[in-house]
Amino acid sequence: MPTYPWELMTSHFGPPIDLSDLPNSIRVDLRPRRPVFVGRVSTKDNQNPASSLPRQVALASERLEEREEFVAHFWDVESGMLPPELRGLGTQEMYDALAVPIPRDGGLQDLVDRAEQLGVTHVLAERSDRVARAMLTSLTVEHELERIGVEVVYANEPTGGTESGRLRTRRYSQVDAEIYRATLMEMSMGGQFQHAVQGWNHGYPPYPYVAVIDENAPVRERGRFGAERPKRKLVPHPDPRRFDAARELCRLRREEHLKAADIIAILASDPEQYPIDGQWTHNRVEGLIANPKLTGYQVYNRKATRTGREGFSRLNPISQWVWSPKAVHESVVSVQEWKQAQEITAALRAGAQGGGSMLRIRAAARRLGLTIAAVESNETHTLYRIGGRQVALPNPVPDTVVQRIIDDLEGAA
């Protein structure tokens, strides 16, 4: 049952005689005390869980009663900005490799889920931000635990005094933690924005590029957490066929309005011209077409990676993307060409287009054993090599021209 402040108060106005021997003299919790520890370290790289967590246990232990020990230990190596359900997603092997000299019975979400089953009576932590830096999260956890009669105790809070004073101290600490969280996010995102604006790459390089260390980038002296990771910029992949393949892939969407399956069939038909590690897939094709880095600009904040679903990223709206002020690496397509490709993609997904007119020409050529390759193109026309001859076709190809080309191919055959 939840405990309210007035239930914790002791009356200073006692009876005229001693009534302490009566059965209902004081409130007695018939459950045996079963305290557990809860802790958190933000990262395994910039902090040392093997030293931080034992220190937290030692501080929290000061609020144990004499000869009392924790019956379980719940801790995470996760950001305090995450809600409980997104904590503890690391593998057991990762936690074992940390060599933390205290047992781990689960994370914060495990504690909330199993507290009643385990008969937990008290949850002890060093301070409130070890539960969460977001005030709503820590309040929710406290409420869920208090609802089943579990008291949450923070070692840095004073003992004695009034319940209102204790509550004021706790809430001030939680407000401070949330303000710190917001400040940290502002500074972190600001740094990431500048990283992109100055032309340095985030994440894995797209197919036609590799990321190399920028020798001209400023290097910060070794700091508290060791040497800073070097800044990297994108340069064309050593295999020039990748650049040509990416350019052709984008052109097939932009000019021929082909869906991913059709593009994959074309690329897979000539692995020498369109090399790929593994095989061309729907996600690879659509991901490249949608990637604005192919324009030569550095772009950040396209995806929100923390979604709770492993391997899944939520796309942010384009208005939230951060672009470098100018092109910072060699481009595969122009910004205008990239935009046109996105418009065609949107139309295909909406079902407005059933495929490009070139599909009919390609199908006819395939039946006749002929190959089609784009030689060069501009804004209005594309020069194709069909079998042994070259044909210049407008973008897009009108139906009347499509039929004439097909008739000419069949007549020549």
DSSP 30-44: -SPP-EEEEEEES-S
Can you tell me the distance from the alpha carbon of 122 to that of 281, in angstroms, rounded to the nearest whole number? 52
> Which candidate, 280, 8, 300, 269, places its Cα nearest to that of 161?
8
Average per-residue pLDDT for the chain: 83
Report the pLDDT averaged over residues 43-61: 83
CA 69 to chain CA centroid, nearest Å: 38
Domain residue ranges of the chain, discontinuous segments joined by +: 5-180, 198-220+228-354, 357-413
In the prediction, which pLDDT does 118 show?
92
Contact indicator for 337, 378 with CB cutoff of 8 Å: no
Helix (H, G, I), strand (E, B) or coil at 374: strand
Residue 225 confidence class, pLDDT cut points 50, 70, 90? very low
- Alpha carbon distances (Å) from 234 to 124, 140, 304, 322: 49, 44, 22, 17
In the prediction, which pLDDT does 5 show?
47
Report the pLDDT averaged over residues 302-328: 77
Q: Provide the CATH number for the domain formed by 198-220+228-354 in this structure.
A: 3.90.1750.20
This prediction has a pTM of 0.58
Q: Which of 1-5, 8-12, 175-179 has the highest mean pLDDT?
A: 175-179
Q: Which of 5-9, 50-54, 226-230 has the highest mean pLDDT?
A: 50-54
Q: Which of 118-132, 148-162, 293-307, 376-390 has the highest mean pLDDT?
A: 118-132
Residue 307 confidence class, pLDDT cut points 50, 70, 90? very low
In the prediction, which pLDDT does 89 show?
66
Residue 189 confidence class, pLDDT cut points 50, 70, 90? confident
> Which candidate, 174, 135, 138, places its Cα nearest to that of 156?
174
Residues 6+ apart with CB under 8 A from 32: 119, 121
In the prediction, which pLDDT does 2 show?
45
Q: Which amino acid, residue 205?
A: P
- Residue 228 pLDDT greater than 80, yes or no: no
- 227 vs 365: which has the higher pLDDT: 365
- The 8-class DSSP code of residue 226 comes to B
- Residue 246 pLDDT greater than 90, yes or no: yes
Joined tokens for residue 94: 């990762």
- Residue 166 pLDDT greater than 80, yes or no: no
Among the residue ranges 55-64, 106-115, 188-197, 268-277, the one predicted with the least confidence is 188-197
Tens-digit pLDDT profile for residues 9-41: 566 677 888 877 887 776 656 678 999 999 988
Contact indicator for 77, 108 with CB cutoff of 8 Å: no
Can you tell me the distance from the alpha carbon of 341 to that of 246, in angstroms, rounded to the nearest whole number? 13
Q: How many CB atoms lie within 10 A of CB 257?
A: 23
- Residue 132 pLDDT greater than 70, yes or no: yes
Tens-digit pLDDT profile for residues 256-295: 889 899 999 999 999 999 999 999 999 999 999 999 999 9
Residues 6+ apart with CB under 8 A from 214: 199, 200, 230, 231, 232, 233
Contact indicator for 121, 35 with CB cutoff of 8 Å: yes
> Which candidate, 231, 294, 238, 256, places its Cα nearest to that of 382?
256
Report the pLDDT averaged over residues 148-156: 90
Q: Which amino acid, residue 204?
A: Y
Helix or strand holding residue 251 (H, E): helix 240-254
In the prediction, which pLDDT does 325 show?
92
Can you tell me the distance from the alpha carbon of 410 to that of 384, in angstroms, rounded to the nearest whole number? 17
Can you tell me the distance from the alpha carbon of 107 to that of 89, in angstroms, rounded to the nearest whole number? 9
Contact indicator for 394, 380 with CB cutoff of 8 Å: yes
Can you tell me the distance from the alpha carbon of 287 to that of 289, in angstroms, rounded to the nearest whole number? 6
Can you tell me the distance from the alpha carbon of 282 to that of 347, in angstroms, rounded to the nearest whole number? 17
Report the pLDDT averaged over residues 217-222: 65
Q: How wide is the angle at C-alpha 179 spanned by C-alphas 178 and 181, nearest 5°? A: 60
- Residue 6 pLDDT greater than 50, yes or no: no
Tens-digit pLDDT profile for residues 80-96: 667 777 776 677 888 88
Q: Provide the CATH number for the domain formed by 5-180 in this structure.
A: 3.40.50.1390
Joined tokens for residue 326: 């100018």
* Relative orientation angle of helices 135-147 and 163-197, to the nearest 10 degrees: 140
Helix (H, G, I), strand (E, B) or coil at 61: helix
Q: How many CB atoms lie within 10 A of CB 179?
A: 12
Report the pLDDT averaged over residues 291-310: 79
Can you tell me the distance from the alpha carbon of 386 to that of 394, in angstroms, rounded to the nearest whole number? 15
- Residue 312 pLDDT greater than 50, yes or no: yes
Contact indicator for 331, 296 with CB cutoff of 8 Å: yes
In the prediction, which pLDDT does 296 show?
94
